[in-house]
Structure 1
Amino acid sequence: MRVAKSKSKAGSRRLTAVLVAVLTAMGLMGTAIGAGQSNAASASTFWIDACGMPTNGAFGNKSMAPGKVKVQSWRRPGNYSTVILLDGMRAGYNRSGWDIETNARRLADSGVNVVMPVGGAASFYTDWDAPSNFNGQRSRYKWGCVIDKRLVPALRSKGFARKNNKFAIMGLSMGGGAALTHAAQRRDLYYAAGSLSGYLTLSAPGMRTALRLAMLDVAPAPWNVDAMWGPPWSPRWTANDPFMLINRMHGLKVYVGAGNGFFGRYNYPQNTFDDLFKGTPLEMLAFAQAKAFEAAAFVQGVPVMSYSANGTHAWGYWQDMLWNAKNRGFFR
C-alpha cells in the first residue's frame, strides 16, 4: 500500500507538473497571439476636404459626404513606408478598385502601409480647367489639390510611415501617368512613383483624340476632355505629360510596368470579347508608351525599374506588377 501510495503521489506530482506546463504554454501562446494581433495591419477609413468639389468629384452623389473625399487605408506599426494607390478611368465612388479587385491591402502586412483615395472617374487626378459640360458636372475636378494638398498632409498628421518625410505614389491606367506627374511636380512630397499600364506620352500625335474617345465611354455619362486641360494647343497638356517631365525626375525612384497585350494567366474565356477588343489594344498602347518613356529616361539619365510580361489591360496583371515592385525593393 505504501508503494502504491508513493506511486500515486509521484503520478499526481507529474500530472500537476504537466498541467502547470500546459497552462504556462497557453499563457505564453496567449501573450504571443496578443502581440501578433497588436502588430497586425489595421484597416480604417477617413475623410479629407475635397478642395471645393461637391462630393468626391461626381455629380452630387448622395452616398458620399458633401465636400469630402473618402480614403481607405491599411497600416501596421513598424512599417517602413506608405504608398498612395490611384485608381483607373472607371473609378467607383464607394470603394477603390484596388480594394475590390486586388490584394493590395496585404502590402501593409509586409512593411508598406496602403492608402486608397476613393473616386475620381475620368479625372486623371488633376485640377480641371472647368466642369465637364457633357455630363452636367456641378463643379470642376480638383484632384491635384486633393492628393497633394489634402491627402499628403493628412497622412503626415496621422503618423503614416514615410521615408525622409515623403511617400510613394502609384497608379494604374489613367492613374499611372498621374502618379508620375504628381511626383515630378511635387518632389517635396514623394520619393517614389510608379505607373502600371499608364499612358505616359500624352503629347504624342493622336493621344488627345484617343483620350477624348475614351472619356466619352466612361459611366455614368460622357466626359468632355477639353474641360480638363483645355484645347489641344493648351500648354497644360505638356505640363501634365509624364514624358515631358522626365527631366524633373532625377533622384526619384521610378517604376514603369506594362503588359505586351497578349493573353496571359488572367484572361478568362467569359471575358474574351472585352479582352480582345479593349484590353489588348489598350495594353499595347500602354506598352509602346512605356518603352518610349523608358528610352527617353535612359537618355536623360533617369533610372527606371521596368516590368513587362504577357498580359492585357486587367486587374490581375496590375496586382502582379504591384508585388513585383514590392519584391524588388521599390518602396525601400
Structure 2
Amino acid sequence: MGAGGMKPKGRLRLRSRVVAMIVTALTVAGLVGTVAGVGQADARINGTAGVKEFWIDACGMPTNGAFGNKSMAPGKVKVRAWQRPGNTRTVIMLDGMRAQYDFSGWEINTNIQELVKRGVNVVEPIGGPASFYTNWNAPSNFNGQQRRYMWECVINNTLPAALKSGRYGKYGTKGGKFAIMGLSSGGNAALTLATKRRDLYYAAASLSGYNFLSAPGMHTMLRLAMLDVDPKPWNVDAMWGPPWDARWYDNDPSLRINQMHGMKIFIGSGNGLFGQYNALPNVFDDLFKGSTLEILAFTQAKAFEGLAALNGLPVMTYYANGTHAWGYWQDMVWNAYARGFFR
C-alpha cells in the first residue's frame, strides 16, 4: 500500500484518539531524549548447527558501502539462516534500530537460533540501522545516504522468494506462509509488513515495539532517537515524510488491526522496572535509556491490546518485569514458542 493508503476513520478514528490520549498521558517527558536498541550485551555468536549465509538482491537500496565501508557486496543484503530438514515452520527475525552489518543482534545476544532444533527454521536479514524495515521516501540527507532504503521490498519480496526457491535449503512453511517477529522498531515493522502481505505471513509478533506510531509526540521521539544512530544522524522526514503525511498512518500497526484478523498476533513488552537481566555494570543505560524506552513500549503495547479487543482481534500478550534489553526479548520468543505461536 503506497502513500495514499489507509487513513483512520469512523469508529476506529475515535478509538484511536482515545487510546492515543492514554499513551500520551502515560509517556514521561524523558522519553524524547532516549535512543532505541540499548541493552546489547557482549555475548557470543551462537554456534548453532545448520547455519547458512547467503546474499539476496537489495531492491536497489544502499548497503553500508554507501557510507564508505566496502565490506559488503554492493546491492546485496546478507542473510544468515538456521534450517534443518523436516522443519515445518520458518520465522523471519527483524533487528532493532541499531542493527549491525556483520551479524543480527538476535545472533549476537540470544539463543533463539536454537528454535531450529524445535521444528522452526530461523532467518535473520542483516543490516538496516534506523530503517524501520520500510521503503523510505528519499535518502537520508543528514548523513549522506546515496540511495533510499527499500527494506519493505527486501522483506516482503526478495527474501521470501529466496527462501521458497530452494537455492539455500528447504524452509518449511504453514500453507506457504512464514512467521515474522521483530524487536523495538523491528517489532512494529513486523506487524505492518505482515498485514501488507497476508499471502506471505500467518503470524506476526512485536517485542517492545512501537505499535501506535500516530500517537501524539511519536514523530518527535523518533526524530530525536534517529539522530543518534550510526552512521548518524538520520533524517526521519526522509522515511515517511512530515507527521501529517499519510504514510505515517499507513505504517501504524494500531491502524491496521482490522487487517490482522485470521493471523496469530503476539505482543510483548517489559514494564520498565529492573528485572533478572539488569546488572549493576549497565545501570546507566538500563535506567536512563532501557527503562524509559520500555515504559513507552509498554504503554503502546497496552494501547494496542485495548484497541485490538475493541475490534475483536485476539492477541497473545507477554509482559515482563524488565527493560529494553535482549534477555527479555529472548524470553518473549521462547514464551511465544511454548504457547503455540508457530503452530
Please classify the TM superposition score into its range, dividing by the shorter chain length.
0.7 to 0.9
Residues 1-332 of structure 1 mapped to structure 2, 5 A cutoff: 41-55=49-63, 59-158=67-166, 159-332=170-343
Distance of 2:333 and 2:225 partners within structure 1: 25
Displacement after TM superposition at 1:199 (Å): 0.3
Distance of 2:74 and 2:65 partners within structure 1: 10
Residues 104 and 275 (structure 1 numbering): CA distance in 2 closer, same or farther, change over 3 Å?
A: same
Displacement after TM superposition at 1:80 (Å): 1.7
Counterpart amino acid of residue 307 in structure 1: Y
Displacement after TM superposition at 1:58 (Å): 5.2
Distance of 1:226 and 1:74 partners within structure 2: 36
The answer to whether the 8 Å contact 2:67/2:231 transfers is no
Distance of 1:57 and 1:80 partners within structure 2: 36
Distance of 1:41 and 1:107 partners within structure 2: 11
Counterpart amino acid of residue 248 in structure 2: W
Distance of 2:124 and 2:143 partners within structure 1: 26
Higher Rg: 1
Displacement after TM superposition at 1:77 (Å): 1.2
CA RMSD, 1 decimal: 1.1
CA deviation string 1:117-171 (max 9, x = no partner): 0001000000000000000001000000011110011111123100010000000
Distance of 1:219 and 1:123 partners within structure 2: 11
Distance of 1:71 and 1:171 partners within structure 2: 15
Displacement after TM superposition at 1:61 (Å): 2.8
Distance of 1:328 and 1:132 partners within structure 2: 40
Distance of 2:313 and 2:128 partners within structure 1: 29
Residues 194 and 57 (structure 1 numbering): CA distance in 2 closer, same or farther, change over 3 Å?
A: farther
Displacement after TM superposition at 1:56 (Å): 5.5
Displacement after TM superposition at 1:48 (Å): 0.3
Distance of 2:288 and 2:320 partners within structure 1: 19
SS in 2 for 1:69: strand
- Identical pairs, percent: 69
Distance of 2:126 and 2:66 partners within structure 1: 11
Distance of 2:223 and 2:62 partners within structure 1: 24
Counterpart amino acid of residue 132 in structure 2: F
The answer to whether the 8 Å contact 1:82/1:113 transfers is yes
The count of corresponding residues between Structure 1 and Structure 2 is 293
CA deviation string 1:101-122 (max 9, x = no partner): 0011101011100000000100
For 1:31, the equivalent position in structure 2 comes to: none
Counterpart amino acid of residue 149 in structure 2: Y
Displacement after TM superposition at 1:55 (Å): 1.9
CA deviation string 1:234-253 (max 9, x = no partner): 00000000000001000010
Distance of 2:219 and 2:156 partners within structure 1: 25
Using the TM superposition, name which of 144-153 and 52-61 deviates more.
52-61
CA deviation string 1:202-235 (max 9, x = no partner): 0000000000000011112110000000111100
SS in 1 for 2:81: strand
The answer to whether the 8 Å contact 1:57/1:120 transfers is no
Distance of 1:203 and 1:329 partners within structure 2: 31
Instruction: In structure 1, list runs of 5 or more residues that go unmatched.
Output: 1-39
Q: TM-score, structure 2 length as denominator?
A: 0.84
Distance of 1:57 and 1:321 partners within structure 2: 34
The structure with the greater share of residues assigned to helix is 1
Instruction: In structure 2, list runs of 5 or more residues that go unmatched.
Output: 1-47
The answer to whether the 8 Å contact 1:41/1:109 transfers is no
SS in 1 for 2:67: coil
Distance of 2:161 and 2:209 partners within structure 1: 26
Displacement after TM superposition at 1:43 (Å): 0.8
